[in-house]
Structure 1
């Protein structure tokens, strides 16, 4: 008998509330930074995954209204990996065996100009109330290939962005493997694969809707924040 039950057939764990978001996982984001990658304080392109920790206040449920400035918010349709068993220094070949499920994420951030928009953005740009809506997770068997998943973002019912999870610097398995090389991921943790470089901006009063085959739909209305 295996000492490690197959998470593909095991019940989904309860989400831990810990969410990590991969930054700079679209090669176009690195290209857009150009020479800024070689300037202080970093002086070189990142050699390992660049992560942002999404604190609990950023979590939002499907349908929950999110307050944003009048200038809007940069959307962030992405795939989330739900960890099914402790992942510590796992190989790329074994990484997806540690995934119990998937979910849709909307990795929101205030629009930013200049190099800081990708490389270590300020906490105040991302760690805002409701800036990480997540859909209900589905079992790992719902997807046959997490690196070829079509995503569609609609605003007020109209498609404004379409993309796929492929073409990332780090695939789902590679990202999970490399992250587990310097930190331990626990059951119920969520690792977001990262957004596309051309993610559009949505404004207060609009409804954001993200869909993907097998993962359902993630809807969140935007309202204008008050002082």
Structure 2
């Protein structure tokens, strides 16, 4: 990632699960079963730990002991000033800017309880290549987002299809915890996650943001 983005986005990485309408609809039936009984009524959060940080053009390792690895195109929101119990009306005032995120994960068994082992492998959260200042983004809730693998378009959606837009996410999350300047909010990946393999070049593109590209490499064996 660029030095400027690295300096601004130096805080915690928070992901939001089930924040695309299509993905939520796919799982509605299971949410009415035990033990949940109903769909989530608040944002379902997970953390991408510091070891997952990665940047543009940097390799993402395909772990040797897993069967599948999936890419996760997402809009990243970089918090510019601390947000605690902010209103919906002024939530966007706390945004420094936006960036592209590829939230890599192993396939998930539970969207209610995203697994650390699936989400937090080394290098599983590339973002960049730069920060797009908030003033340059007219509406973060109307951005086309695309995933390319080896030059082939594999996934296409729009942030207009999110369950919660950027302002609502910031308002609802800041009800119970402070989002600090430098934190990055990963606003969700759309339905239809794509499997990737060693040797693939994976690119996420967001309207007006450019492209974030990462090669997938096989994990090397341990040196005795």
CA contact (8 A) 2:11 2:180 kept: no
Q: Is there any run of 5+ residues in structure 2 with no aligned partner, and where?
A: none
Q: Is residue 183 of structure 1 aligned with residue 177 of structure 2?
A: yes
Taking structure 2 as the reference length, what is the TM-score of the superposition? 0.89
CA distance in 1: counterparts of 2:94 and 2:135, whole angstroms = 13
CA distance in 2: counterparts of 1:139 and 1:210, whole angstroms = 19
Aligned with 2:60 (options 43, 59, 66): 66
- Partner in structure 1 of residue 51 of structure 2: 57
Say what the alpha-carbon RMSD is for the aligned residues: 1.8
Q: Which runs of structure 2 are paired with 1:8-87 in the superposition (5 Å)?
A: 14-69=8-63, 71-87=67-83
CA distance in 1: counterparts of 2:199 and 2:110, whole angstroms = 24
- Partner in structure 1 of residue 86 of structure 2: 90
What displacement does 1:206 show? 0.1
- Partner in structure 2 of residue 106 of structure 1: 102
Aligned with 1:172 (options 166, 181, 185): 166
Aligned with 1:158 (options 152, 161, 165): 152
CA distance in 2: counterparts of 1:107 and 1:61, whole angstroms = 12
CA contact (8 A) 1:22 1:52 kept: yes
CA distance in 2: counterparts of 1:93 and 1:45, whole angstroms = 26
CA distance in 2: counterparts of 1:202 and 1:187, whole angstroms = 33
CA contact (8 A) 1:152 1:211 kept: yes
What displacement does 1:121 show? 2.5
Give per-residue Cα distances to partners, 1:10-35, cap 9 Å, x unaligned.
x9862223110000111222222233
- Partner in structure 2 of residue 222 of structure 1: 216
Aligned with 1:143 (options 137, 148, 168): 137
- Partner in structure 2 of residue 3 of structure 1: none
Give per-residue Cα distances to partners, 1:133-176, cap 9 Å, x unaligned.
11022211221110110112111122222211111110111111
CA distance in 2: counterparts of 1:225 and 1:118, whole angstroms = 27
SS at match of 2:180: coil
Of the structure 1 ranges 61-70 and 14-23, higher mean CA displacement relative to structure 2 is found in 61-70
What displacement does 1:117 show? 4.4
CA distance in 2: counterparts of 1:39 and 1:178, whole angstroms = 25
Aligned CA distance change for structure 1 residues 212 and 28 (closer, same or farther; 3 Å):
closer
Task: Count how many residue pairs are aligned between Structure 1 and Structure 2.
Answer: 214
CA distance in 2: counterparts of 1:170 and 1:125, whole angstroms = 24
